[in-house]
Structure 1
C-alpha cells in the first residue's frame, strides 16, 4: 500500500509539474503578493504583477541555458521600452512615433523564430503597461514614475528567476508533455483514418479526407513542436537519458505518421469490391487498435511507465491475413484481384506500423536506427537572422503587412484616446494590441471574446469586491485570477480575459477604488476591438485567396521532392536518413500550411473568397496525393533489375516533373500551361488504371515491389490530373465564359 501511495504521489507531482507555466505564475504572484503585504507596500503589487505577466508572455520552451539567455534579452528589451515610455509619455508626437516604430520592428522580429516573436510581442505589452503607471496622473513626480518602471522590471525579473530555475530542475518535462500530446493527436488521426474502411456504398470520402487534412495539420504541428523541444536540449554531444529516449520516440512518431497517412487505393472502389466481405472491417479493426495503442503510449509517457504493446493487434493482423488468403481463393475477376493486392499491401503496411509501435517498448526507443539526426531550422548566426528579416520586407509578406497594420492600429487608437478621454485611455491601446492578429478569423474571434470576457470580468470583479471587502482575500483572488489567465489563454480566451480583468480590478482596489475602472474598461475594450477589426479591413488586408497560389505551388514542389527521395530509395533500399526524413517533413509541413490557409479562408468575408470551393477541392486532392506518396514511402525496398528500375524511375521522375510544372503554373510563370496534358511529359500525363499497373510486370513474387510501385504511381498520376484541373479553375476562373469556382 505504501509503495502504491508513493508511486501515486510521484505521478501527481509530475502531473503538477506538467502545469508548468500556471504553476510558475502561481509561485511568482503569490510570493510578490506576500512581499507586498508584509512590507506594507500594497501599491507596488500592481506593477509587479503586470511585469510578471509580460515576462510570462515572453516565455518559450527552452533549456535552462537557453532560457537564461532569452530572459536576459527579454529584460534588456523591457528596460529599453519602459525607459522610452518614461521619456516620451508627456510628448505625444514622440510617443506615438516611437510606439508605431517599435510595433513594426518588434513584429518583424517574428521572422527569425518563435522565440523572438514572443519577446517582441511581450515587449510591446510591457510598453503599454508602463503607460498605465502614469495614466491619469500626469503630475506624478519623475521619481514616482521611475519607481513604477523599476517595479515592472522587477516583476519581470522575478518571474525570470522561477522560469530559469524550473528549466534547470525539470529539463525534460516540456518534451515529455509535447510527446504526450503528439501521440494523443496521432492516435486521434489513426482512429479517424479507420473510419474510411467501412464497406458502405456512397460514403463521402472527400469529406472524410478533408477532416483528415485538418487532423494531419494538428499532427504536423505537434511533430514540429516536439522536435523543437528536443533540439533545445541537445548540445554538441549525443543526448543521454530521457532526452535520448524522447528523441527515439519522436522518430517513431514520424514513421508511424508516414504509414498512417498512406493510402493504397480508392476507398469507394474497395467498398464496392468487398461489400459482401468482412475484409475491410478487419482493416478497420487493426487501425482502431493501433490508434488506441498510440493513446496508450501517450499515457505511458505521461506516467513514465514502460509501454506494453499488447497482443490484441497481433491477433487482429493474423486474422486479417487469414481473411486475405481466404478471399484470394474466392476471387477470379482481374479488377478485384488488383484491389485485393492493394488490401494485401495495406496489411503489410499495418504490420510494419505495429512493429514501429512495438519499438517504443525498448528503453532507448532506437529500434536499430543508424541515423538519429534531426534538422535544425533555427538561425545559426546573426547574419542569417538579419537575412530572415530582410526577406520579409516585401508587401507580399503576410508578416510585413501585419506589422504595418498593427503600427497603424496603435496610432489610430492613440488618436482616439486623445480625442475621447486621455485619462485612463491606454486600455484602448492594450486591447488593440491583444486583438489585432495576423489572420482575419483570429482577429474577429478575439474581438468578440475580448469584449464578452471583459464584460464578464467586470461583473465578476464587482461582485467579488462586494463579497470580499477584506484586502487579503482580494489579494488571493488576484493571484488565482492571474494563474487562471495563463491556464486558459490558449484554449479559453474569453475566460482568460475575464480572469485578467478581475486581477486588475482586485489590484487597483488595493490602492484606490476599483469600481472606477469598470465603465472605462468596458468602453476602452470595445473601442480597441473595433479599431483592430477596422485595421484588418482597411490597412493592407492580406486575404488567404491572395496567398493560395503560392502556398499551393510550395506544396506541389515539396511533394515532387518527396517523390524523388522515395524513388531514390528504391535503388538503394529503405534508409530513414536525414535527407529522406527532411523531404517527408517538408511535404507534410507544406500540406499543413495549405490546409490552415484554406480553413482560414472560410472564416473570411464571403466577398473576398469567391473561389473558396476550388481551393477546398484542391486541398483535398493535394492531401490525397500526399497519402499515395506516403504509401510509396512506406513500401520502400531495393529493386535489383536494372531495366525495371530505370523504367520505374523514369515514371517517377515524369510525375515529379509534372508537379514542378504545375507549381510553376500556379506561380504564374509565363510559358507554363498547367491545364494542358503535356505539363510533365507523356509519362506523367496519361493516368493509367491501377489494375492495369498491377498486372504489368507479371505474377512472379520477385516483381511484387515493382507492381506495387507502379500501382501507387498510377494513383499519384490520377491525383496530378485532378490537381491540374483544379489549378486551371483557380488560375483561369472565367476561361469558359462562366465562373467555374462554384
Structure 2
C-alpha cells in the first residue's frame, strides 16, 4: 500500500499511486492461510469485484432518490457472495470496502474507467507480491499454523491436567476445553488444506511429508487427550482415595504440555528440544506405584488397578507420539513406507460447493446469510442517510464502521461494536494528546503507516487493540491532508458511535437469526457424525485387520461437527436471555455429545493400538442397541422446535433392556489370568456401558419435548 503512494508522490502522479494503493488494500483480506492456488484465485476474484464496484461507484454522483436503492441493492448482492464459504466471505468484504470507499475519494485527474482499472492493477500488484513472498518463503504459513497447533494442543493438555480429580469449577474448564478444541479443529482443517493439497499439486517432498506426519501425530494426540478409560465420577473417587496418583498424572500432563510449547518455540532447532528424562522418570514412578497398588490391595480394588493401567497406557501412547514428532523434526530421510498415498489423503478434504443453484436455494428467510445481507443493506442505507441529514464531515465512515462490525452472529456483532467503540475512544484520546506534542507531517505519515501495520497484525487476535491503531492511523493520515485535525477526531468518534449503534440495533431487531433456530440441526449433525464414528469403531473391532481409512475420516468428521456444535452453543450463550430457550437442556445435550465423543476416542485409541480378542455376541447386541438409540434421538430431533415450550406431561419410558453388567464386575474381570485380556475387558465394557448410558440419557432428554 505504501509503495505505490511513495512512487506516486516521487513521480508527481499521486492519483495513480493512490488508486493502486486502494486496490492493494481492498484485495488484501483474501490473503489468508491455505493452498497457494486458493489464495491466488481469491485475490484475483477480489480484484475483479473491486474493479466492477469502483466503476459503478464512479457514477454515484446522482440524486439520493436513485442512490439509496442502488446502494442497498449492491450491498445485498456483495454480502450474499458469503454463502460460498469463508474465502468467499473475504472476497465479499473486499467488495464492500470498495463500495463504501468509493464515496471517500473521487479522482479529479482520472476518468472513471481509468481509476477502476488502476484499482484492479493494485489488486494484481498485491497478488504478485503475495505470490513472490510465497516462493521466497514457501514454508512460512505451514510453520506458523503448525506452531499455533502445537501451542493450542499444549493448552488443551493443560486443561485436561486441571480436570484430573474433582474440581469445583469443572463446568468452566469443560467450556474452555470445548473452545480450545474448536480452535484446534479449525487449525487442523487449515493444515489439511496446506499439506494435503500442496502435496497433491507439487508431488512428494521430504519437507511436506514430514510435516504431514507431524500433523497426523498432533491429531492423534488430541484424540488420545480426549480419551478417558472411565467416566469422571469413577476417576474422582479413585484419585480422592489415592491422591498420589492424581499428582503423578498431573505432573505427566504438565510435562507433555511444557514440551509441546518448547517444540513450538524452536520448531526447526531439534537440538534445543527438551530431553525425555523427566517423562521417563515419571513413567517409572507411576509404573512402580501402580504395581505396588495391585500387590497391596484385594480383589475389590482390581478394577481400580485396571483403570490406572489403562490410563497409564494412554499416556505412554502420548509419549510415543511426542518422541516421533521430535524424530520427524530432526529432518530424517523418509523411506517409501513412510509416505502416505494421495488416494487416501484426498478423502480428508471437503471441497466447497460453488454451484450457482446455491444462490437460489439461499434466497429465503431460512438462510442466515440472506437475512444478514438484507440487514446489512438496510443498516448501510440508514447510516448513509443519517450522515447526509446531519451533514457530517465524512458520512462514509458510518457505513465503513457498519460493514466492519456487522456479522451474521449477534454475539460477535455485539462484541465487535463494544470493542470498536472502546478502541476508537482510546485511539482518539492518544491522537489528541500527540497532536499537541507533534506538528510535523512527516512524523504524522510515519506514525500513520506504522499504526496501520500494527492494526492489521492484531485484527484477528485483539480487535479492540486493532481498532485503537486503525483510529490512530486514519487520524494521522488525515492530519497530513486536513489542517484542523481535532475536527477530524471529533467526527471520527461520532461516526463510529453511530455506526456501532446502528449495527447493534439492526442486528437485534431486524430479521434476527437467533442460534436457537439452528441449534437442533447442529446437535443432530454432531450426533450423526458420532454415530458414524461409532459404527466404524464397532465394525473394526469385529472384523480386525488394518485400520480402515474410513474410521479416520469419520473421526475427523465427528471432531469437526463437535466443534461446530460447540461454536453454535457459544453463540447462543452470547444472545439475550429471552432467546436462550431450554438452554440448560441444550447445554446438557452438548456436554453429552462431547462425552460420547470422548468415549469413542477411548475405544478408537485402544483398539487401534492393541491386539484385541474376538468380539462377543453381547458386544454386537449392545452396539446395535446404542446405534438404535442414536437413530431414535436423531428422529426425535427432527420434530423438535426448541423455540417452543416443552409439552406438559412429556415423559420418557425406555424399552426394557438388561445391560450385561457381569462383564465389568471385579470378579468377572479378575477370573482371567491374562492381564492384557483383563485390561481390554475393563476398558471395552466400561466404554460400552458408558456409551449406552449416554445414548439413553440423550433419548430421555429429547423425549421431554415430545408430547404423549
Q: Distance in 2 between matches of 1:42 and 1:690?
A: 82
Q: Distance in 2 between matches of 1:470 and 1:75?
A: 35
Contact residue 262 and residue 631 of structure 1 kept, 8 A: yes
Q: Distance in 1 between matches of 2:258 and 2:163?
A: 17
Contact residue 452 and residue 469 of structure 2 kept, 8 A: yes
Contact residue 197 and residue 280 of structure 1 kept, 8 A: yes
| Pair 547,503 (structure 1): closer, same or farther in 2 beyond 3 Å | same
Give, in angstroms, the shift of residue 232 of structure 1.
4.7
Contact residue 392 and residue 400 of structure 1 kept, 8 A: yes
Give, in angstroms, the shift of residue 538 of structure 1.
1.9
Give, in angstroms, the shift of residue 500 of structure 1.
2.0
**Equivalent in the alignment of 1:332:** 298
**Equivalent in the alignment of 1:195:** 162
Is 2:28 the counterpart of 1:38?
A: no
Q: Distance in 2 between matches of 1:285 and 1:579?
A: 35
Contact residue 664 and residue 685 of structure 2 kept, 8 A: no
- 1:504-534 Cα offsets, whole Å, 9 max, x none, are 2232333333524222222221211111111
Give, in angstroms, the shift of residue 180 of structure 1.
0.6
- 1:314-372 Cα offsets, whole Å, 9 max, x none, are 332232222222111222253x3223212211111211121112111133689957566
Q: Distance in 1 between matches of 2:552 and 2:63?
A: 55
- 3-state SS, counterpart of residue 486 of structure 1: helix
Contact residue 372 and residue 408 of structure 2 kept, 8 A: yes
| Pair 609,694 (structure 1): closer, same or farther in 2 beyond 3 Å | farther
- 1:566-624 Cα offsets, whole Å, 9 max, x none, are 11221343755432222111111111122122222222111111422222222222211
Q: Distance in 1 between matches of 2:380 and 2:125?
A: 29
Q: Which of the numbers 694, 698, 708 marks the counterpart of 1:723?
A: 698
Contact residue 629 and residue 699 of structure 2 kept, 8 A: no
| Pair 82,575 (structure 1): closer, same or farther in 2 beyond 3 Å | farther
Unaligned ranges ≥5, structure 2: 642-648
- 3-state SS, counterpart of residue 366 of structure 2: coil
Is 2:480 the counterpart of 1:510?
A: yes
Is 2:522 the counterpart of 1:551?
A: yes
Q: What is the TM-score with the length of structure 1 in the denominator?
A: 0.85
- 3-state SS, counterpart of residue 71 of structure 1: helix
**Equivalent in the alignment of 1:501:** 471
Give, in angstroms, the shift of residue 41 of structure 1.
5.3
Range moving further from structure 2, 105-114 or 563-572? 105-114
- 3-state SS, counterpart of residue 132 of structure 1: coil
**Equivalent in the alignment of 2:644:** none
Is 2:234 the counterpart of 1:269?
A: yes
**Equivalent in the alignment of 1:280:** 246
Give, in angstroms, the shift of residue 712 of structure 1.
0.8
Q: Distance in 2 between matches of 1:715 and 1:442?
A: 36
Q: Which of the numbers 328, 333, 350 marks the counterpart of 2:315?
A: 350
| Pair 716,122 (structure 1): closer, same or farther in 2 beyond 3 Å | same
**Equivalent in the alignment of 1:124:** 96
The residue correspondences of 1:146-185 to structure 2 (distance < 5 A) are 149=116, 152-185=119-152
Range moving further from structure 2, 586-595 or 67-76? 67-76
| Pair 304,94 (structure 1): closer, same or farther in 2 beyond 3 Å | farther
Q: Distance in 2 between matches of 1:715 and 1:614?
A: 20
**Equivalent in the alignment of 1:739:** none
Is 2:672 the counterpart of 1:709?
A: no
Give, in angstroms, the shift of residue 713 of structure 1.
0.9
Unaligned ranges ≥5, structure 1: 1-27, 135-139, 737-742
Q: What is the TM-score with the length of structure 2 in the denominator?
A: 0.89
Q: Distance in 2 between matches of 1:540 and 1:414?
A: 20
- 1:239-266 Cα offsets, whole Å, 9 max, x none, are 3132221111111111111111001113
Q: Distance in 2 between matches of 1:245 and 1:695?
A: 45
Q: Which of the numbers 226, 241, 244 marks the counterpart of 2:209?
A: 244
Contact residue 44 and residue 123 of structure 2 kept, 8 A: no
Q: Distance in 1 between matches of 2:623 and 2:173?
A: 28
- State the aligned residue count: 689
Range moving further from structure 2, 274-283 or 301-310? 301-310
**Equivalent in the alignment of 2:505:** 534
- 3-state SS, counterpart of residue 542 of structure 1: coil
Contact residue 455 and residue 522 of structure 1 kept, 8 A: yes
Contact residue 107 and residue 117 of structure 1 kept, 8 A: yes
The residue correspondences of 1:73-472 to structure 2 (distance < 5 A) are 73-134=45-106, 143=110, 149=116, 152-198=119-165, 203=168, 205-236=170-201, 238-277=203-242, 278-301=244-267, 303=269, 310-334=276-300, 336-360=301-325, 361-362=327-328, 363=331, 373-375=345-347, 377-379=349-351, 384-421=354-391, 424-472=394-442
Give, in angstroms, the shift of residue 150 of structure 1.
5.3
Contact residue 23 and residue 50 of structure 2 kept, 8 A: no
- 3-state SS, counterpart of residue 569 of structure 1: helix
Contact residue 36 and residue 42 of structure 1 kept, 8 A: yes
- 3-state SS, counterpart of residue 373 of structure 1: helix
**Equivalent in the alignment of 1:20:** none
Is 2:593 the counterpart of 1:622?
A: yes
Give, in angstroms, the shift of residue 727 of structure 1.
3.0
Q: Distance in 2 between matches of 1:646 and 1:324?
A: 33
Q: Distance in 2 between matches of 1:718 and 1:541?
A: 37
Q: Which of the numbers 471, 475, 478 marks the counterpart of 2:445?
A: 475
Contact residue 147 and residue 267 of structure 2 kept, 8 A: yes
- 3-state SS, counterpart of residue 239 of structure 1: coil
Contact residue 689 and residue 714 of structure 1 kept, 8 A: no
Q: Which of the numbers 623, 628, 632 marks the counterpart of 1:661?
A: 632
Give, in angstroms, the shift of residue 487 of structure 1.
1.3
Q: Distance in 2 between matches of 1:79 and 1:325?
A: 73
| Pair 455,223 (structure 1): closer, same or farther in 2 beyond 3 Å | same
Q: Distance in 1 between matches of 2:479 and 2:239?
A: 71
